[in-house]
Amino acid sequence: MNMNVFLRKLLLYVPVKMIPAVSGIFLVFFLYKSFPEGQYVSYSVSLFCSLVAAQLCAGWVGNSFIYYYSGVEDKKLFVSNCICVILLIAPMASILAGVISICLISERDLFLFVWMLCFSQILFFFLSSMCQAGFLVKQQLIAVLLQAVMQIGLVMVFFRFSEVDFRYALVASVAGYAIAAFFMLFSVSRIFGLCNPFSSIELFKVDLKLIYQYGAALSPWILGMLVMAGADRLAIGYYEIEHGDSYLSLKDLFVGGAGLLSMPLLMMVHPFVIKKFREGVFAIRIIESSSSFLIVAFSLLWCALYFVGFDFFERMTGKKIGASTIVIFYAFAGVFLNSAAVYFQKRLEVHRKMKLLAYLSLMSALMSVCFAWLGGMFWGLYGVSLGVLLAQSIYFICVVASMYKRLNVYRGFLQPFMVSSLAFLAGYVFYLGLQSEWVDFFWWEKSLFWLVGFSVVSLLSLWKGVRWIEFMKATL
């Protein structure tokens, strides 16, 4: 592949990641603003049940396809066999998602909606993996555009001409995933070609065993990570906890923001860590630099949210945030720990200790469920959010401990924390100055002036709080 083709496809790959994030953030605002009390919780729990079932039962097929695709000789048969496996798994996985959802939400007709959502998500996720393995970036871009336009367009039409109900939002999601999946399937069939997977039962069994041996080992870890991070959704839906709507909508925004902050960095760090490990060296310095970047970046994001973001959210949605600031901070801190843990567990990953990672994630997930359920029973939303944060903290401490002897605590944690504290103090001083009685501005003018001033502080914080020299080494 020449450099021009690589750069062109790389430029296409950026919106492939950005479009779902931006459309997701828009939908959080729109749905939270539109839904009556309690319906955002039902919507969020339904999505979570579908996602867990899809990743647990079928996510390993996509991971295996990416791993093996470049090495197989008969790619046409391998593609056909993997699609067949997905079509066999998807109905059963969707039944699991539907059953879990109606157990948590007392809505019998919800089963069909979640079943369709899970089925369409499984097809979408797998075909996205197939396009990624074949580097079909243009096809992925068109697919995510179709998905976003269909979902947003349909949900607006439903709410405008029918009624505001979370089931219609689920139907819009189904339509978006389905049309994107069908487009990718059409593209794959034209490029790779398809054949009858049962023309050779023996070869089908060989491919099934191959993808299962690699991918199935990832399923327990994926399940643990998803449940650990989402136990609060299950508890809020089960107990119908007050202010759950605002808590979950803000957490969805945090998750989207965390992806934009951490995923581009991870795409650079991961191959570098693998490369250095194959050379006999573990790249601990770049892990420390990644940690410092995440601490500073997430701290700056929290400052922006705390001083101007939450007020903007309330004005745009027309609803007060009922959840307390400390509860919202617990949710934000949990999202940060999840994002940071992905970097610190690299030492276990490169040593292929996936069983240990799976054990840690499953144990943490079990603690998260127990803590969230007990916390919700006795202390409501405060107990749920704190319980999930405690479980995520335990997992984070365990993966950090796996490289503690090599880790420079000052560079990785203390220095960026001190820089972040100074940034928060500067943001607080700016805020007090703009709120004084001598400043006669509209709210949006105050927010704009604060953002301009804090952007300077942010640049200085990122400059002083992060060792950029390690990232420069990774790109050489």
The residues spanned by each domain of the chain are 1-199, 220-476
Collapsing DSSP states into helix, strand and coil, what is residue 408?
Answer: coil
The burial class, CB within 10 Å (0-12 / 13-18 / 19+), for 476 is: exposed
Whole-number pLDDT of residue 6: 43
Whole-number pLDDT of residue 475: 53
Structural tokens at position 112:
């069909």
CA–CA separation, 463 vs 342, rounded Å?
A: 23
Structural tokens at position 402:
């796996």
- Other Cβ atoms less than 10 A from the Cβ of 333: the count is 17
Query: Cα separations (Å) of 302 from 239, 311, 412?
Result: 28, 13, 19
Ranges of the chain with pLDDT below 70: 1-14, 263-264, 266-268, 270-271, 472-476
Residue type (1 letter), 281: V
DSSP 403: T
Structural tokens at position 300:
């700056």
Tell me the residue ranges of DSSP E strands in 35-141. Answer: none
* Angle of helix 325-344 versus helix 219-239 axis, rounded to 10: 170
- Other Cβ atoms less than 10 A from the Cβ of 429: the count is 12
The burial class, CB within 10 Å (0-12 / 13-18 / 19+), for 13 is: middle
Look up tokens 């990953």; give the residue.
349
Look up tokens 């309330």; give the residue.
314
Residues 6+ apart with CB under 8 A from 95: 115
Whole-number pLDDT of residue 136: 82
Whole-number pLDDT of residue 213: 76
| Cβ–Cβ under 8 Å, residues 87 and 206 | no
| Cβ–Cβ under 8 Å, residues 105 and 46 | yes
Nearest to 431 by CA among 254, 300, 306: 306
